[in-house]
Amino acid sequence: MDRQWWKESVVYQIYPRSFMDSDGDGIGDLPGMTSKLDYLKTLGVDVIWLSPVYDSPNDDNGYDIRDYRAILPEFGTMADWETFLREAHARGIKLIMDLVVNHSSDEHAWFVESSASKISAKRDYYIWKPGKDGAEPNNWVSVFGGSAWKHDERTDEYFLHLFSRKQPDLNWNNPVLRKEVYDMMTWWLDKGIDGFRMDVINYISKDEAYPDAPSHSESRFQWGGQYFADGPRIHEFLQEMNREVLSKYDCMTVGEMPGVQPEEAALYTAPERGEVNMVFQFEHMDLDSGNGKWDVRPWHLKALKEVTYKWQHSLNGRGWNSLYMNNHDQPRMVSRFGDDGEYRVLSAKMLATFLHMQQGTPYIYQGEEIGMTNVRFPSIADYRDIETLNYYREAMEGGADEAAVLRSIHAKGRDNARTPFQWDDSPNGGFTTGAPWLAINPNYGTVNAAEAVADPDSIFHYYRKLIELRKKHDIIVYGDFDMLDWDHPEVLAYTRSLDGRKLLIALNFYGGEPEWNPPADAVGSEAELLIGNYREPGTRSKLSSGIRLKPYEALVYLL
Ligand code: NOJ
């Protein structure tokens, strides 16, 4: 058992724009975040992951960085950031920063210089190519739609941008650029931070031949992931970064890695290889997608079981998992995998149990702990996210039906996660005294933190207990995972085992009342109910077969 503090931690993600506004400009800020640290302390989280607060023109809400060493004035000053860090540390909470170095903003001084001329000293900090037959160098599509290449008039070349055209990709093949990134990371670590969440870090090494992607549809532009996800030099770059920077600090790292498979993730996270501690994989987030994320399909419990088992099993003893079902890019978990109506509270607790009892480091995204839900704004004018707006424009230009497009946005749009945090039932949910940058979810009168903190039965207190349990029982952190009841249509059940002890977790994923049978070797054993969303924990009983589960019931027994 390789003990590490970051394995025993629970991480809380703050999306700064939407967390807490202290000055009435409608945008969350650092003093606002500092004022809510006691709330996070009560919840019991160990680490905060802060989405970008760096200087940025905000084409992609801060994931387009203009200056890696400056704070965006909307969020406050560097002194405000230092106060936030100091106050978090004073409460025993660590801080990890978002590291966005697959790309920068096109307004970053590096890009300004790089694009000025073909002989600029920083030309090679970005990826420039001449056109092919008067068009783009290849057919790759950008994640946010359209070609991944933008023509630049001044030098008559194209630059690569896997995301928006204001997010040019950095050229990691250039050792001088890599050194700049490592110096910047060192600068933040020396300021006292505790690690990094690394944005799309498995995209930083591209196939230098830049081949056309195979066509999967009629579109001119096609997904080229096979030429840049887990690319040719990725492990070399991450090992170098680890050697030059991370290994010198007691810090934690999590790499966001779209499309990554477990065998590759085991390489990224094997401690002896010195790359990152854990990755964010996306397989469970793709279960309700058909041809791309906007093509919304029903998800299936069996598939969730398969994906969960695959990741739990593959990394056990080899690397480490991150556990999440929410972040600033994903719709709200309770709306997507639970029931945000009648069973909102029960299903949110059930899903929390599902995540927090697996092997790995759990991540809570702001608002998840009070069961915040998706939002259905009536018009595209209510939305702010670049990905959503681009999708709408392209779909409408292609002749799509607006109602269907809005249905996809309601189910999958990133603004579902980005509506302001609901602190209380006062106007704008106590988030701001001004006009919020994105409208608040109208359900803030009933779904809010003040109500949740006051109610001992709330989702908030359930999360608090899950976190507490983790501190008490090594088996929750380190135990081996096994899936039970593969064919049960409504129940997902699993065990965790360590040193002869067993945890038995049973989760009813639907609103019915199915019968569930504990594994034969557990029937008749003394079991303590550690936590559940109906029954009183702490009770001991002999496990019997034929347990009738209530709607969205969650049970965790220690045998
Ligand atoms: C992943 C981030 O989580 C997302 O918000 C962003 O748009 C892209 N990477 C590009 O930085």
State the amino acid at position 384 in one-letter form: R
The CA distance from 59 to 166, in Å, is 7
Is 264 inside a domain boundary? no
216 confidence band (pLDDT: 50, 70, 90): confident
The CA distance from 53 to 468, in Å, is 30
* pLDDT of 87: 99
Residue nearest to atom 11 of ligand 1 (CA): 63
pLDDT, tens only, 166-178? 999 999 999 999 9
Burial of 92 (0-12, 13-18, 19+ CB in 10 A): exposed
- Its pTM surpasses 0.85: yes
- Shared domain check, 441 and 497: no
* pLDDT of 370: 98
**Phi/psi of residue 288, nearest 5 degrees:** -110, 30
Whole-number Å distance, alpha carbon 199 to ligand 1 midpoint, is 6
Pair 374, 348: CB distance under 8 Å = no
**Domain limit, last residue, from 478, 509, 524:** 478
Pair 444, 429: CB distance under 8 Å = yes
Q: Is 199 in the pocket of ligand 1 (CB under 6 A)?
A: yes
- Shared domain check, 442 and 354: yes
- Shared domain check, 4 and 85: yes
539 confidence band (pLDDT: 50, 70, 90): confident
Which one of 60, 74, 106, 199 is the catalytic residue? 199
- Shared domain check, 474 and 371: yes
Rg (CA), the chain: 24
Is 487 inside a domain boundary? yes
CATH of the domain at 365: 3.20.20.80
Per DSSP, 199 falls in state T
Helix (H) or strand (E) run with residue 394 in it: helix 386-397
pLDDT, tens only, 375-411? 999 999 999 999 999 999 999 999 999 999 999 999 9
The CA distance from 335 to 284, in Å, is 15
* pLDDT of 1: 79
To test ligand 1's pocket by mutation, which of 13, 49, 54, 63 has the most ligand atoms within 8 angstroms of CB?
A: 63
- Shared domain check, 439 and 357: yes
- Shared domain check, 470 and 509: no
Q: What is the 3-state secondary structure (H, E, C) of 459-502?
A: HHHHHHHHHHHHHHCHHHHHCEEEEECCCCCCEEEEEEEECCEE
**Domain limit, last residue, from 478, 498, 522:** 478
Is 54 inside a domain boundary? yes
- DSSP per-residue codes, 285-309: GGTTEESEEEEE----HHHHHHHHH
**Helix intervals (H) in 245-368:** 262-269, 301-315, 333-336, 344-356
Whole-number Å distance, alpha carbon 51 to ligand 1 midpoint, is 10
Is 351 inside a domain boundary? yes
- State the virtual CA torsion across 414, 418, 419, 420 in degrees, nearest 10: 180
- Shared domain check, 484 and 466: no
- Is residue 199 flagged as an active site residue? yes
> What tokens does 64 get?
């387009």
pLDDT surpassing 90 at residue 155:
yes
Rounded to an integer, what is the distance from CA 278 to the centroid of its chain? 12
**Residue 79: other Cβ atoms inside 10 A:** 10
Interval 123-134 mean pLDDT: 97
Whole-number Å distance, alpha carbon 503 to ligand 1 midpoint, is 36
pLDDT surpassing 90 at residue 245:
yes
pLDDT, tens only, 441-469? 999 999 999 999 999 999 999 999 999 99
**Phi/psi of residue 495, nearest 5 degrees:** -120, 160
The CA distance from 119 to 379, in Å, is 47
pLDDT surpassing 90 at residue 73:
yes
Q: Whose CA is closest to 155, among 190, 122, 128?
A: 128
Is 190 inside a domain boundary? no
Is 286 inside a domain boundary? no
Is 495 inside a domain boundary? yes
Whole-number Å distance, alpha carbon 121 to ligand 1 midpoint, is 28
Q: Is 549 in the pocket of ligand 1 (CB under 6 A)?
A: no
* pLDDT of 5: 98
3-state class (DSSP) for residue 69: strand
- Shared domain check, 489 and 505: yes
- Shared domain check, 517 and 464: no
Task: Give the chain's domain count.
Answer: 2
User: How are beta strands 501-508 and 515-516 bridged, if at all?
Assistant: unpaired
**Domain limit, last residue, from 478, 504, 520:** 478
- Shared domain check, 84 and 11: yes
- Shared domain check, 508 and 429: no
- Is residue 190 flagged as an active site residue? no
CATH of the domain at 535: 2.60.40.1180
Residue nearest to atom 6 of ligand 1 (CA): 63
Is 140 inside a domain boundary? no
Residue nearest to atom 8 of ligand 1 (CA): 63
Q: What mean pLDDT is reported for the chain?
A: 98
- Shared domain check, 460 and 368: yes
Q: Is 163 in the pocket of ligand 1 (CB under 6 A)?
A: yes
pLDDT surpassing 90 at residue 207:
yes
3-state class (DSSP) for residue 170: strand
Domain of 552?
480-558
